Structure 1
Amino acid sequence: EARHSIERRAAENVNYDLLADEASDDEAQNDADGGNDADEEIEEDAVITTNPTNYTVTVGKSVRLECKASPSEGVVVQWTRKNTKYFIGTLNEVEQNLKTYTGQDRFFIVANSTDLLIKNVQPEDSGAYKCEILQMNGVSIEHNVVLLESPKIIRFFASDNGHVPEGRDLLLTCEVSGSPPPQILWSWEGNQGNQRLTEKDGEFTANSVFIRNVKPENSGKYYCYVLNNVGSSQAEVQVQVLRKPRVHVHRTIVNSDLNVEAVLECSIHDEPAAHIRWYKDGRRIEDSSRQYSVSTHGQHSNLTVIPTSDLDFGTFTCEAENNLGKHNRSIDLVQSPVVEDFGNDGPKLFWTIHSHQPLEEIELQLREIDGEGEWRTLRVPLPEGRRHEYSIVYSLEDADIDAGKYEITVKVKNEKNWSEHSNPAIVDIEAQPQYIRPASVYLPGAGHSIRPHIVLIPLIYLLVRL
């Protein structure tokens, strides 16, 4: 290396102006001496026989940049990049390490040449490299190194660390590297599976997606895919849209009786987690209350009530609150019957009754949908026995109802009061075939008449026509 440094300094100290002056003096002396120009040997300048080239190389590989001079012996060559010297000197029988120039143990001059060898090519090595012959009439060429690098995702992140309040904007950013510059594709995995993001989903820039006014359905896993002709890569980030809590109650009306335990249930949906409170007719129920028992586990809360007087019945409210807002739902604790799950299968109706008090009446109310018919009441037989829950099945085929489409509700009365009307069911009652009993048919010679049990109207009509 020391020898190389000396050679380099020697080459740097060459004074080409002085050489030119000495050459002029020699010519003048030759003229004075009557010399013959035809007998002189004129030294030719070296030339570079290599053409400028674009070298394509993958990161981590090696690339050799050629620079052939003719003649090559004693020719001083200089390699530069961005005005930084990488080498200055002549060819050598052994490989020359350029660490003293570059500070890196990756650049070399190939033995017996002036070619520049770059080992373990890095992204920062891309660009133009100039090879120049240092002489009076300097010549040079310039090579370009184009790197091929498989895409890498440096960082993929979402605004607000992926926890975005409902109504706010979401920014997804995917910082990438690669050569050629990779293409970025986006997708989202929600309730409908993995779907490609398009212009209708957000606003796209070079390496980001901007989604305005996010909603809970925007929650899910987002993917950044990067690819070029060398390779591909992907990364993912989880996004959760936060919103004020939503309270869900299992039953909006609960039947109970004096000294009968009733459990009122509510659950909280959405994130972040919420604080749960209970109220009775607008007044907060303290956790230390002896009259009520509150049991909360995570996002589920139960309020246990044992009424001791009629005043203990009323409206109970479950309220949930987080840093984005609050929400509540109410449950009525009553002594009147509660009707649930009212529905039908054709003309067959079914429903469930909850009542700790004895039942007194069950009524169906119906009216035709097509027309301006008035409500009509049908009484349903009471179930036998006494229970707290009754499953009722009643067929309208047992009732005297004309064919048509009807809207039907049910309500139930116990010794305390009537229940609320159930949600309506729509029942389509079809016309039934009409049957008649024909007159007796007497056969001559027979000792009795034959009386058919059932004959359809179309058959009678056919007989009359015959």
Structure 2
Amino acid sequence: MKVSMNPRIKLIPGQSRKGGTVDLDNSYNLEIRDVRTSDTGKYICQLSSMNPREVIHTLVVLVPPKITFMTPAARMEVAKGSTVYLECHGDGNPAPTISWSRKNDVMPNGESSNEKEIIEIRNADRTAIGMYKCSADNHVGTPDTREVEVSVIYPPEIELERRMVHTGIGFEVQLICVIHAEPPANIHWFFGTAQLATTERHSQQNHGSRLRI
């Protein structure tokens, strides 16, 4: 019987069910300390006798998932209309499943998550802005996750709540103009061709998006 010279591996005399030691020539246990992924494989116990026999044990070392590569690393800034690629790879045993999800929102394609290592966002606009999370999971331990922020630079887009607002003489009215822009835009209100300034009758709120008259 061959014994490995590796100090982590040793033979231990087997024991009977009653706890008594049996003949070393009849029973041995193989002990591997500080198990590593390199220990994965087949271990053969050979019995040398009149009728030689061998018993094969297969050792599978389970390894929790770990993300080994992700790009971009933390933040990506692109122009409107660009194509965005998010890439993530992981390692573990068994090989982990890589999936992408979007924090507090659905993916740009309408799905809640994508089980892909690389996702593509075409014609990026403001709806693609947000935090994207890569997850590596093989059901061994806790999934490994990383996040990346996607920012899209785009010109101002104006969104009006109501184009026509009715009020009466002596009443107060509030006009709302929602502006989407990255970087944030400066907002100015005009009456005809005259720019409105803050007075006793005119006041602007929320960085100019609300005009109170």
Tell me the TM-score normalized by structure 2: 0.56
Instruction: Give the match for residue 107 of structure 1.
Output: 9
User: Are the structure 2 counterparts of residues 198 and 212 from structure 1 closer, same or farther at C-alpha, using a change threshold of 3 Å?
Assistant: closer
Higher radius of gyration, 1 or 2 = 1
Bigger relative contact order, structure 1 or 2 (CA pairs below 8 A, ≥6 apart): 2
Instruction: Give the match for residue 163 of structure 1.
Output: 77
Correspondent of 1:220 among 130, 143, 151:
130
- Structure 1 position 152, deviation (Å): 2.2
Residue 60 of structure 2: SS of its match in structure 1? Answer: strand
User: Are the structure 2 counterparts of residues 187 and 133 from structure 1 closer, same or farther at C-alpha, using a change threshold of 3 Å?
Assistant: same
Offset from partner CA, 1:395-431 (integer Å, 9 cap, x none): xxxxxxxxxxxxxxxxxxxxxxxxxxxxxxxxxxxxx
CA RMSD of aligned residues (A): 4.5
Equivalence map 1:288-307=2 (5 Å):
none
Instruction: Give the match for residue 149 of structure 1.
Output: 63
User: Are the structure 2 counterparts of residues 140 and 206 from structure 1 closer, same or farther at C-alpha, using a change threshold of 3 Å?
Assistant: farther
Are 1:108 and 1:116, in contact at CA under 8 Å, matched by a contact in 2? yes
Equivalence map 1:167-316=2 (5 Å):
167-189=81-103, 194-197=104-107, 200=110, 204=114, 206-233=116-143, 234-243=145-154, 246=156, 269-270=181-182
Residue 147 of structure 1: SS of its match in structure 2? Answer: coil
Are 1:353 and 1:390, in contact at CA under 8 Å, matched by a contact in 2? no
Are 1:155 and 1:175, in contact at CA under 8 Å, matched by a contact in 2? yes
- Structure 1 position 226, deviation (Å): 3.2
Tell me the distance in 2 between the aligned counterparts of 1:109 and 1:353.
90
Tell me the TM-score normalized by structure 1: 0.29
Offset from partner CA, 1:175-226 (integer Å, 9 cap, x none): 222333334443213xxxx135486459956423222222232121111233
Are 2:74 and 2:149, in contact at CA under 8 Å, matched by a contact in 1? no
- Structure 1 position 242, deviation (Å): 3.5
Tell me the distance in 2 between the aligned counterparts of 1:270 and 1:130.
65
Residue 55 of structure 2: SS of its match in structure 1? Answer: strand
Identity of aligned residues (%): 26
Tell me the distance in 1 between the aligned counterparts of 2:11 and 2:67.
35
- Structure 1 position 150, deviation (Å): 2.6
> Which has the larger share of helix?
1
Tell me the distance in 1 between the aligned counterparts of 2:195 and 2:116.
63
Paired residues in the alignment total 167
User: Are the structure 2 counterparts of residues 222 and 390 from structure 1 closer, same or farther at C-alpha, using a change threshold of 3 Å?
Assistant: closer
Instruction: Give the match for residue 128 of structure 1.
Output: 42
Are 2:89 and 2:98, in contact at CA under 8 Å, matched by a contact in 1? no
